Structures are given as structure tokens and as C-alpha cells.
Amino acid sequence: MTDAPQIILASGSPFRRMLLENAGLRFRVERSSIDERAVEEALEGSEADPETVAQVLAEAKAVEVSERFADALVIGADQTLSLGDEVFHKPADMEGARNHLLKLSGRTHQLNSAVVLAQAGAVLWRHVGIARLTMRQLDPAFIGRHLARVGEKALGSVGAYQIEGEGIQLFEKIEGDNFTIVGLPLLPLLAELRTLGAIDG
């Protein structure tokens, strides 16, 4: 394993970093400089589904960082939340978080978590994990009390909730693994890293 490539995570997400650290990986973080909203705007009108949007964003991050660190194996990741045809973004403020939860209340939405491996500007591997989450019917007054308790943490995710915290109380059913929900399909990623000889296997 002495000649294994250095691994770089092209994401500033503390949750993705924690998942890799907990799995025992040795890596460093180099955030991508791409403008995510510009990439998404370029996809508008292309009929790209939410899974494809997540994958394109993950690829853009991984490729951009891998062009700067050509010898490294770069992990890019992104996640979209879709409710029917509507794609959600992180809420800008607490009112936006309240509107997110009102829309998601009593309905099933989908989290699309893409992960990509790139090296020297080329994509080596890509994967999109999908989870389906059914939110229980939420009373608007409860939403207000919930957001008052969790505060600005609600602004850190596309759905205005953290499933690993108090956000779990919002749900009645979850289909999919926790890694995909947090934003990094870890088991397929680890399998590919072993295949590439980047981690011990």
C-alpha cells in the first residue's frame, strides 16, 4: 500500500469528512472552486433529472480539484433533494426552512447522493445512491417550535433537517442507508477504492 495514491475529498461538508474519518481513511480536504449554481443553471432546460444534476455537480467538483492535484485520487460528492419534479436547495434563511418543511410535510421525497472519483482531470468512477424519506404530517406550529430548537442547523442541508439529530423526529418512514442520506454513499465508494488499490483490501 506504500504506492497508493493520496486521497483528497473535494468537499467542505463536515458530515462527509466525518464519514471518511470514521471509516479510517487517510485523506485531506481541498474544496472545489466551482460555482454550483452556475452549473445547475447551465443544466436548466436540458431535462436533466435530479440524480443527473447531483452527478454532474459531483463530477465537476472532483475534476476541478483533480486538475490541480494530478497525482491524487479525488472524491467529489453532491446531493439533491427532489419532491416530484421540484428540486430543493439549501434554505437561505429560517423562513425558507419553514417553507421547505411545510412542502415536505406528509409526503415522500427523494435524496440523490452522487459520488465520483477522478484523477488528473478524468472521471474514473461514478455512483448515485438514492434514499426515499416519508415525512409525517407536521403541524405548522410544531414546525415553528422545531426550528426554534434546532436554529441555524436547519440551513445546513437541502431539506432543512439533520437526520442524525433532532430532524429524525420529522419522519415516519425511511428507505435507504444512512450514508446516502447524510450525503456520501460510503459502501460503494469504499469498494471502488479497494478495487483501485487506494485503500487496503
Q: Catalytic: which of 78, 93, 177, 200? A: 78
- The helix-helix angle for 94-104 and 140-150 (nearest 10°) equals 130
In the residue annotation, 93 being an active-site residue is answered as no
Question: In this structure, is the dihedral angle defined by the CA atoms of residues 15, 11, 181 and 196, taken in order, positive or negative?
Answer: negative
110 bridge partner residues: 82, 132
SS3 of 41-77: the string is HHHCCCCCCHHHHHHHHHHHHHHHHHHHCCCCEEEEE
Calculate the CA dihedral of residues 145, 146, 152, 156 and round it to 10 degrees.
-150
> What positions carry a catalytic annotation?
78
